[in-house]
Amino acid sequence: IRDSYNASLVAGNIMPSDGDDITKVLDEYERVDPENPALTDPRLATAYADLAEQMLQSDLQRAALIADTAQQRFPNDARLIGLQDRINTLREVQDIELRVAELEQELSDGLASIAELEDFGQYEASLQQMSALDPENRIAAAMVLRLEELVDEAVEAALSQNNWPGARSTLEAYAGILSQDRLAASLSRVDSAETKYSAQVGGVLAGVQDAVGGGDLDRAVRELRQLEQLNAAPGTIRQAREIVTRGYLGAAQQERGAGRFDEARGLIAAGQVVDPGYAGWQAELDAISQSEQLAGQALADQERQKIEQERQARIDALERRIQGNLNRTPFGVETARDTVAAVDELARAEPGN
């Protein structure tokens, strides 16, 4: 047994095989002489370590098998323990390299197919893993660059719709991938755009109020249309429309009060274009009709009063004429004729006299 052991050690036959090897000899020692020094021979531990180190660069799997076999027999050998640590490290590196290669292929395929930001979702986890495994990877860098382009497009689309929350949400969704400098700059751009837009909307709304206050309703309508073109918030547009509506209503009421009923109706018609659903239009139209009717009645009363005054003045004049003729001396034929004519005219002017 001893000769077989030494021969196998010298020949380097220290791993299990189909032929003669040292493991079969050691099994025999354990059967017939469990205390034999060969079972703890430091030369065998060194042989295992030397062989494993030889295999490290060419066949890591074989080196790991040798180290595992050696540690089962020599679990406390410092060199073998250190060697196992190196093998584990190399295995991790090898696994990382393999995973990086897989991720590179996946991201490379994805880079060619991504057309919209929504397409990126299926590659996000892989890109984050690649960034952790290989921060300088060129394919990952190209993918990030493509993502930045898509994020910029999505943010610009949101800004064009004045969708500030949408723009911020897009940036925050990819905050873990975008660089902090780029993220901060993009968020600052959204803030600036929102501030500028809010100031613009506020200025136009103030213009609506100013125009209505100055009685320039045409300008007020133009300002309202500008708010609509700016895609202002529904509440802001509603507020401006109410201001313009009240302006038209107030102007119509003023025209009604001045007796310019057609002008009042024209203002109501213009206001209905601004806000067709406003309930106050019909009430004002009814008020205009009522005022117009009352004004017509007053005019007719005035006309009748004028006619009566003229008739009474003519009667008074005829009576004075008749009385003057009757008092005339001598009362001649011409005076008599004039008196008769005056009496006839008086009878027509005042039939009951």
Residue 209's pLDDT is what?
A: 94
Nearest to 247 by CA among 229, 226, 223, 227: 223
pLDDT digits (tens, 9 = 90+) for 43-64: 988 888 888 888 887 888 888 8
The count of other CB atoms within 10 Å of the CB of residue 53 is: 16
Residue 272's pLDDT is what?
A: 95
Query: What's the farthest any 2 CA atoms get from each other in the chain?
Result: 195
Q: What is the pTM of this model?
A: 0.53
User: Which regions in the chain score pLDDT beneath 70?
Assistant: 18-20, 298-301, 307, 352-353
Residue 284's pLDDT is what?
A: 92
Residue 18's pLDDT is what?
A: 52
Is it true that the peptide bond before 330 is cis, omega within 30 degrees of 0?
A: yes
Task: Report CA-CA distances (Å) from 283 to 212, 223, 230, 242, 262.
Answer: 21, 27, 33, 17, 16
Residues in Cβ contact with 33 at an 8 Å cutoff, skipping those fewer than 6 apart = 1
Cα–Cα distance, 66 to 52 (Å, whole number)? 6
Residue 350's pLDDT is what?
A: 77
